Structure 1
Amino acid sequence: MTSTTNSWSPALKGLHWLIAIFILCAWGSVELHEFYERDDPMRGWWMVVHFSLGFSVLLLGMLRLYWRATHGRPTLYGSGIQKPVSLLVQSLMYVLMLGMPLTGLLMRQFAGRDTTLFWLFDLPSFVTKNIDLAKQIAFLHKEFLWNALLVMLVLHIGGALWHHFISKDNTLRQMLPFGKTK
């Protein structure tokens, strides 16, 4: 289904909210794993959840990017600098949505570690082990991209709330899975 002038397609709405939930759960799972000692099996369990959710975000993010490129977008609201800032934040969100799981995967690859996904299979290491590179990618994943994602989420959510409560336009309503646009 194609996006209309006043609403995102149901597929893009679904992908938006599913990816948002998966990102939130991936964050929660990596935080929860810290409550367990290194030799506790639950620590590993939470990391498998984290890897699986991250891999899902990567696949769903690529699908979302494809769908968005082929099915259009609704009217972009705002005046002056709002539209280019909105497009920049959205673009950076896509970069981060794909960059976080990619760097997480690369970090494990260069550390020479298999990555268990969904308790179904292990993604083996396809690259030559390079611990120094793995540490650099880990910094990029855990410090730089994670903090950038938090900043972009605040701007994204803040912008949606601004449009809803201050500008009183359809920006937020266009993405809600329920309700109607004006």
Structure 2
Amino acid sequence: MDDDEAIRKALTTAGKLIGRPVRSFASADEFLAGYDPAVPGCLVLDIKMPGMTGVELQRKLIADGTAIPVIVVSGHADVRIAVEVMSRGAVTLLEKPFRLDELLAHIRTAIETDAVNRAKIAERAETESRLAALTPKELEVLDLIVSGKTNKDIAAVLGLSLRAVEDRRARLMKKAEARSIADLIRLRDSLAEGDI
């Protein structure tokens, strides 16, 4: 996204060179009106634009929970702006004029980053779905399993028979699609880490 039409054409050419569809926008408002978070990709963003600046747009996307990778370009970036956009997760900051091969390399990195992020989000949603299928009693058993308790220990803690604990454990393993205790622990840990 750039208010300079020549730069927008160059960016469109860059996208075509790597076989990716490209949409260009002259302003942040135009981008926000046309952006579909379900479409994978990256955003090449100029710092200086009419209306909302590139830095302000990057802040807004982060505040809105939008995880699109951002490549920032500028003809006049100062150190403070460079530090800010990079600390907010920009893939890079390129100063105009930049080489096309340099831009293409960063676009490829950004697209790979987007694919990895989308896979993590999908995995987390699947994990949440599996855990949401568990009853409160099954979650109680899961928590005790994750904390290292044996079936015998769980029976004592919950005041249940060993058979009742084994039944709950078997149901939660099936619902969670876990083949082992290690799978259950990874499932619970991946949700607790919130690494997305």
TM-score normalised according to structure 2 size: 0.29
Q: Which structure carries more relative contact order (alpha carbon 8 Å, separation 6+)?
A: 1
TM-score normalised according to structure 1 size: 0.30
Greater CA radius of gyration, 1 or 2? Answer: 2
